[in-house]
Structure 1
Amino acid sequence: MSTATRRHPTLLLALIALAALYTWWFLHDKHWLATQLVFTGPPLLLAIALRLGWRLAPFWSGVCALGWFSHGVMSAWSHPETALLAWVEIALSLLVIALASLPGLRARFGRKSK
């Protein structure tokens, strides 16, 4: 297991959960391939990158999660038939943002050693 994976196991699970959510959500979409490339692909690629130890994977996960959050909010408000999926997307994207930001927040606001 790589160092990045050991430091971010929950982030890895959250990215995989997002990919699974998008796979389920767009399973019967008429533009299936496009939705898989746009929605399912990025969290899967970031999960693979995190697993392989790419140092910037947490940062890019947080950046992408801002878009996923926006998509979830728009879907929750405009498509009542998929509101539950959208709320799960919102929760997972907020989790990804928090987990990706946690090391930086700890470094900035943690106890300073003397």
Structure 2
Amino acid sequence: MLLVCLLALAALFALWYLLPGRHWIAGLTVFVLPPALLAAGVALRSRLAGYWAGVLALFWFCHGVMLAWSSPGERLYAWIEVVLALAVIFSANLAGLKARLGRKRG
């Protein structure tokens, strides 16, 4: 699920920044490449990629909320970014939550 969410986030950013031709270099380096590279790391089963995906998702969440409130023209993209960021945070932490809550202490 984490891999799918990261790829969807990279696709969203590509659609948002690269297709209209605005902010091409900034859109690619700041928004599209990080989730794409993290998706490659997740596909290679790197634990660090999952960790950093969760950390960066907090920034994506804040970015989405900020734009949803301040930029009416980009509101739809921003809310999709917020939902995907929450999905990345949840799926990046799912294994740890299962391990923590699945154990019975005794």
Whether TM exceeds 0.5 here: the answer is yes
Verify: 1:35 aligned to 2:24, yes or no: no
The one of 28, 39, 64 aligned to 1:72: 64
When you count helix as a share of all residues, which structure comes out higher?
Answer: 2
CA distance in 2, matches of 1:57, 1:68: 16
Deviation at 1:112, TM superposition (A): 2.4
CA distance in 2, matches of 1:45, 1:51: 10
* Number of equivalent positions: 105
The match for 1:108 is: 100
| Off by >4 Å, runs of 4+ in structure 1 | none
% same residue? 53
* TM-align CA RMSD: 1.4
The match for 2:10 is: 19
Deviation at 1:45, TM superposition (A): 0.3
The match for 1:87 is: 79
TM-score by length of 2: 0.92
Deviation at 1:29, TM superposition (A): 4.4
Residues 51-101 of structure 1, C-alpha deviations (whole Å, 9 max, x = no match): 112121111110010000000000000000110010000000000000011
What letter corresponds to residue 92 of structure 2 in structure 1?
A
TM-score by length of 1: 0.86
CA distance in 1, matches of 2:44, 2:102: 28
Deviation at 1:31, TM superposition (A): 2.0
CA distance in 1, matches of 2:21, 2:67: 15
CA distance in 1, matches of 2:22, 2:39: 26
Deviation at 1:106, TM superposition (A): 1.2
Q: Secondary structure at the match of 1:56?
A: helix
CA distance in 2, matches of 1:46, 1:60: 8
